[in-house]
Structure 1
């Protein structure tokens, strides 16, 4: 875990990000969302809305694409410092599912066919319906996900919507480094809890990429740096 003054850690991440996309721009090819061909490295820190008293250490994550003996593909999320496995995401025809390495404390997940959101988790493992939402004119989609708790059935209503973002606006908001004006079309996809109108997660995508550029939850900001 890398420790930086909160004032400077975002600058550090954006510099790493600029190096990454300077290399990737010469090797661009169309890819499927959340299906990287090689390991992805993510740097996470507290969101701007989190109190300064909260630990502002950066957390580095490694996401590895893997397959089991039956050929089923999944993503493994590791803490990069010690390669501790935190969870695995599986993609199946019946929907996505998450398996936690530590089963003594399993966070609640909102999961359906093409979304998987773990509210409050510090792991950047949320999945959104990217392929269908990259059209900036796409209407918002509402998901109703039932869950059981204490013998009762609850319904989580989640609205997913997309909006086109200019590279200039993304730079001003701190989602891209200042020299990223060469970016083309960018789309922000976000999920909101309709009961509370609170943000669950939002991800900034460049169409054709296999992973988001930037992700934000109420407590965490994350950037792909490799």
Structure 2
């Protein structure tokens, strides 16, 4: 009987330990009264590869992974898309996870080009949105919400400078992780962290 109780205690401790693992909330935080208010992704309005509007409400109640790319990028973007696709493939059938790629070259990355790119990846456009919009709005949200770099520079390869990160966003619009989008090991870490975040955000998943 004693050994059974010990085993039960060990299993209970292990289960509690797993459920208590939490990812940090990244960004600036402000203490207001007894509450800590964390930085969130600011409101946005863009257009996706199907000419459909995409806003914060598109991702309401969902966890999502975001990045910033451009289709004619001669350097890191193709690798970033490969790594993002790995995460997409892992969660393709998971209704709690979505994906968002912003073009930083809206002058050339037209909706038709974004759709063609999306079709070539053979992805569900409801699941993975490729969005365009006003250039300054894209650059602003990259800098002010996602800790990302995005701006035009004629001296840079392809004419643009941008961050190569994949960003993990929770259903409260907090950034919970930033990962090198050109590194396969970082992609594995992202997938692992996604599991942790999903158990936190959707407690019913922890029992499965």
Q: TM-score, normalised by structure 2?
A: 0.28
Larger radius of gyration: 2
Q: Structure 1 or 2: larger helix share?
A: 2
Q: TM-score, normalised by structure 1?
A: 0.26
Which protein has greater RCO, CA pairs closer than 8 Å, 6+ apart?
Answer: 2
